[in-house]
Amino acid sequence: MKIDRRLIKNFDWVTFSLIIILAVIGVMTIYSATRPPLPHGTMPSYYMRQLYWVIMSILALLLMISFDYVWLKRVSYVLYGLGMFLLLLVFLLGRTGMGAQRWLNLGIVSFQPSEVFKLFYIITISRYLSELQGKVGLASLLRTFFLFAFIPILMLIKQPDLGTAIILLLVFLSIVIMKGLQRKAAALVVLISLVSVPFLGNILWEGLKDYQRNRLVAFLEPETDPSGIGYHINQSKVAIGSGQVMGKGYLKGTQGPFRFLPEKHTDFIFAVFGEEWGFAGSVVLLFLYLSLILRGLDTASKAKDEFGSLLALGISFMFTIYFCVNVGMTLGIMPVVGVPLPFMSYGGTSLLANFVAAGTLINIRTRRFALFY
Residues of this chain that interact with another protein (CB under 8 A) are 37-38, 130, 174, 177-178, 180, 227, 235, 237-245, 254-255, 257-260, 274-275, 278-279, 282-283, 286, 289-290, 293-294, 297, 300-301, 303, 305-306, 309, 313, 317, 320, 324, 327-328, 331-333
Closest CA to 262 of 207, 211, 323: 211
Closest distance between another protein and the C-beta of residue 25, in Å?
16
* β-pair partners for 111: 104
Closest distance between another protein and the C-beta of residue 320, in Å?
5
Q: Which is nearer to another protein, 160 or 308 (CB)?
A: 308
Closest distance between another protein and the C-beta of residue 143, in Å?
21
Closest distance between another protein and the C-beta of residue 327, in Å?
5
- 326 near 270, Cβ under 8 Å? yes
130 exposed, middle or buried (CB, 10 Å; 0-12, 13-18, 19+)? middle
Q: Alpha carbon of 53 to those of 10, 47, 354: distances in Å? A: 27, 10, 12
Closest distance between another protein and the C-beta of residue 134, in Å?
10
Q: Which is nearer to another protein, 310 or 352 (CB)?
A: 310
Closest distance between another protein and the C-beta of residue 242, in Å?
4
Q: Which is nearer to another protein, 88 or 328 (CB)?
A: 328
* β-pair partners for 95: 103
Closest distance between another protein and the C-beta of residue 313, in Å?
7
Closest distance between another protein and the C-beta of residue 142, in Å?
22
Closest distance between another protein and the C-beta of residue 227, in Å?
7
Q: Alpha carbon of 163 to those of 100, 220, 269, 301: distances in Å? A: 11, 17, 17, 29
Q: Which is nearer to another protein, 293 or 353 (CB)?
A: 293
Q: Which is nearer to another protein, 110 or 130 (CB)?
A: 130
